[in-house]
Structure 1
Amino acid sequence: MAAFSRLVRFISTNGKTYYGDAILPSGSTDARFATHAFRIDGDVLGEHAVTAEKLEIKKLLSPLAWSDIPTVRLLGLNYSKHAAEIGLPKPTFPVLFFKPVTAIGGPTDVIPVPKFAQIDNEMDYECELVIVIGKKAHNVSEADALDYVLGYTVGNDVSQRAWQIKKGGGQWSLGKMCDGWAPMGPAIVSSRVIADPQALRISTKVNGQLAQSETTADQIFGVAKTIAFLSQGCTLLPGDLIWTGTPSGVGMGRKPQYWLRDGDLVEIELENVGTIVNRVRYETDAKAKL
C-alpha cells in the first residue's frame, strides 16, 4: 500500500515543508535521529512515489498535516492493567472518544497548558500506539482489518483529569481537547515494517524517570479487532487516526498521584517506531475564571 518505510513530514533547510521517507542511521529504527529523507511525490494517502532526491531535515513535524487527517478517534480503558490501576472493570466494547485535529502536535513540540487547565493542576500523560488508516474501511472483518492500515506511529494523549472526569458532565472531551494535546511521531512506520502490532514495547519517561512500560499484548481490543469494530456502519477514511489506549502507569493511577508540571519533559517511545520528546509549558498570557 505504502511506497515508504518511515513517513516523515519536515521542514528542510530551504524553509519548505515536505513529506519524505526517513533515512535512518545504521542500526537505528528511530526517525528522530534521521538527518535526511528521500522526498515523496504525490499523495501519501494515495498514489505516491519515493524519489531519489535527498533533502536535509531541519525540523520534524507531525507525520501528517491537519488537512490530511479526517478524524481523530481514541480508545479509553484498552489495557487490562490500566483498567485495574484506576479501579474500573474491563469494558465489554471499545470505549470511544474524539479529539479535534488541532490537538495534533509534532514529535518535539511543546505541550501547551492554557490557564483554565491549570486551575486544578491535574495534567496527565498517556503513551499510545496510533493506527493510521490507509484506505476506506467499511464493515471490514477482523481477519482483513490489517489490510487497511497504512502504518503506525506513537503519541501522547495528554489529559486534564479534572476536566475529563469531574467537570465534563460524563464526557471526556473537555479534558482532552486542547491544541497540542496529541503530539505524535516521529514517523508513520509502514505496516510492511511492523507485521505484528500486538508485540511492541511501549513506554513513557517523565524527566528521565520511567513511568509506563508495557507491551501492546496487554490491549483488551487489539488493532485488528478495533478496526473491525469501528468500521461497523461507519466508514474509516485514509488518514484517519485511531489511538489505541494507554497502559498502566499514568499519573492518575500512581500512589501518590503525579501531575505534570510546568517544565516537565515527557518522552514516549514505541518499539520499532521511535520516540517523541515534548516539554510541558504552562501558558501565562490568557486569564480563565471558571
Structure 2
Amino acid sequence: MRIANLKGRLVVVVGETAVDVAEASGGRFAADPQAVFAEWDAFRGWAAGLDAAQGAPFAVEDLGAPVPRPSQVFAIGINYAEHAAEAGYPPESAPVTFTKFASCLAGPVCDVELPSDTVDWEVEAVVAISREAYRVRREDAWDHVAGITLGQDLSERTAQLAGAKPQFSLAKSHANFGPTGPWLVTPDAFDDPADLAISCSLAGETVQSARTSSMIYDIPELVVRLSRVCRLFPGDLVFTGTPPGVGNARTPKRFVRPGEVLVSELEGVGSITQRFVAAGGAS
C-alpha cells in the first residue's frame, strides 16, 4: 500500500489514482496525513479494501511530505561501510545519531535554495514508525514500521564540519533540506524490504548507487537501538544513513551548483526530484 499527502490531504495511491481517505471513509479517518499514525492498525485494515475506481488522477508535483509533522526525526550517519571509509572513519565505527529538524521536510518535487557553495547530497531510505516503541526486541521491530519512503539528507558541509563542535543538525536543516516521498510504502508491498536498490544522480551523472542490505545496522537494528534510549512515537521518522558517493568525499570535492537537478530513486518506492537555486531564488 502507498500512502501519500496530496495538497495536505491523506490519500492512498491505488494504481494511477489517489483515493481521498477522509471522503472515502465518510470521515472515519481524518484528512490530516499525520493523524493516521495514531490509528494505524485500524487504518490499515480499512484501506486494504480500496480500489482505483474510488480515486482520481493526480500530479506528483502536488504531493507533500508523506509524513509532514513527525514529533521526532532521527538521522543516522556512517551506516554503510564504504561511506565510513570515504568519510575517514574506521570500518568498525558505530553509526552516529543526530536529528533533522522537522521544518526542513519537503515533498518529492521542490526547489532548494543554496545557503552556500558547499551543499552536498545524501540519498537515504527513510522509515516511519507505526506504533509506540520502547525497548523493542529485534523480532518485533518490523511490527513497529509503518512504511518506507525515500529522502535526501541534504547537508551544508561548511557549518556541519567546521570547528571543534560541528553542527550536524543545523547544517542539515535548512529549508527543504529533507525532501521525502513520493509516498510511504508499507513493508508488505516489497519482496524484501531489507534489500532495496538506492541511487541518486546529479546533473545527469549517477553519484550514488547501492543496496540497503549493505547497511551496517539494518532497519530492525536501528529500531532496537533507538528504542533502547528513546520512546518512539507513531509517525516518527528515521533517516537510515547514506551509501558512498557523497560530494564532500570526492577528489576534488563536488558540491551542488545553482540550476542543477538531483534525482533520487529507491526500488519499490519511486523517485524524488530537487532543483537547486542560488540564494535569493535565482537559478
User: Which of the five TM-score ranges fits, normalised by the shorter chain?
Assistant: 0.7 to 0.9
**Aligned 8 A contact 1:125 1:250 in 2:** yes
Matched residue of 2:161: which SS? Answer: helix
Q: Which runs of 5+ in 2 are unaligned?
A: 23-28, 30-34
**Aligned 8 A contact 1:7 1:63 in 2:** yes
Q: In the alignment, is residue 63 of structure 1 matched against residue 59 of structure 2?
A: no
Q: In the alignment, is residue 157 of structure 1 matched against residue 161 of structure 2?
A: no
Aligned residues with identical type, % of pairs: 32
Match of 1:103 in 2: 104
**Aligned 8 A contact 2:161 2:168 in 1:** yes
**Aligned 8 A contact 2:105 2:175 in 1:** yes
Matched residue of 2:99: which SS? Answer: strand
- The one-letter code of the counterpart of 1:65 is P
- The one-letter code of the counterpart of 1:90 is P
Scaled by the length of structure 1, the TM-score of the pair is 0.85
Q: In the alignment, is residue 20 of structure 1 matched against residue 11 of structure 2?
A: yes
What aligned pairs does 1:252-263 form with structure 2 within 5 A after superposition? 252-263=248-259
Match of 1:40 in 2: 21
- The one-letter code of the counterpart of 1:166 is A
What is the count of residue pairs matched by the alignment?
A: 259
What aligned pairs does 1:121-270 form with structure 2 within 5 A after superposition? 121-167=117-163, 169-194=165-190, 196-270=192-266
Q: What RMSD, in angstroms, separates the aligned Cα atoms of the two structures? A: 1.7
Distance, in Å, in 2 between the alignment partners of 1:273 and 1:168 is: 39
Which range is displaced more, 90-99 or 141-150? 90-99
Scaled by the length of structure 2, the TM-score of the pair is 0.87
Match of 1:14 in 2: none
Distance, in Å, in 1 between the alignment partners of 2:232 and 2:170 is: 24
Deviation (angstroms), 1:169: 1.8
- The one-letter code of the counterpart of 1:60 is L
Distance, in Å, in 2 between the alignment partners of 1:281 and 1:128 is: 22
**Aligned 8 A contact 2:151 2:180 in 1:** yes
- The one-letter code of the counterpart of 2:242 is T
- The one-letter code of the counterpart of 1:252 is N
Structure with the largest fraction of strand:
1
Indicate how the Cα distance of structure 1 residues 167 and 181 shifts in structure 2: closer, same or farther if over 3 A, else same: farther
Distance, in Å, in 1 between the alignment partners of 2:194 and 2:188 is: 14
Distance, in Å, in 2 between the alignment partners of 1:161 and 1:168 is: 14
